[in-house]
Amino acid sequence: MSSWVYVGLFLLVGLIIPVGAIGAAWVLAPKKPNPIKQMTYECGIETVGDSWVQFKAQYYIFALVFLIFDVETVFLFPWAVKLNSLGMFAVIEGIIFILILIVGLAYTWRKGMLEWV
C-alpha cells in the first residue's frame, strides 16, 4: 500500500503546480485594459479590414493527414526493428496496416486534398 502513496503524491503535485502557476499568473498579471491594448496587432502593421480571416479547410486536412502518417511511423518503427524476429502473423498484420495506410493516402490524393491550389 505504501507504493500507492507515491502515486498519490505525484498526482497531487502534478495538479498543484499547473493550477498554482495559472492562479499566480492570474493574480499577478497587470489588468489595465485600454482601447490601444485591445486593438489587433499583426507584426507591427495595423490591420486593414476584418482581422478575422477564415482559412481553407484543406490546410487542416493536410495537417491531419501529416499527423496520421507521422504517428504511423511511431507504430511502424518498433515493428521494423524487430521484423527478423517476428512470426508470420505479426508480419502479415504489419503489411495489412501499411496497406490500410496506402488506401487512405490514395483516397486523400484522389479527392485532391493534397493539392496546394
For 35-82, what is each residue's pLDDT tens digit?
A: 877 776 666 666 666 666 666 777 787 788 888 888 888 888 888 898
Place of cell 511511431: 74
Give me the residue spans of the domains in the chain: 2-110
Please indicate, yes or no, whether the overall pTM of this predicted structure exceeds 0.85. Answer: no
Q: How far apart are CA 68 and CA 99, in angstroms?
A: 14
Task: Give the separation between CA 76 and CA 97, rounded to whole angstroms.
Answer: 9
Instruction: Name the CATH topology of 2-110.
Output: Methane Monooxygenase Hydroxylase; Chain G, domain 1 (1.20.58)
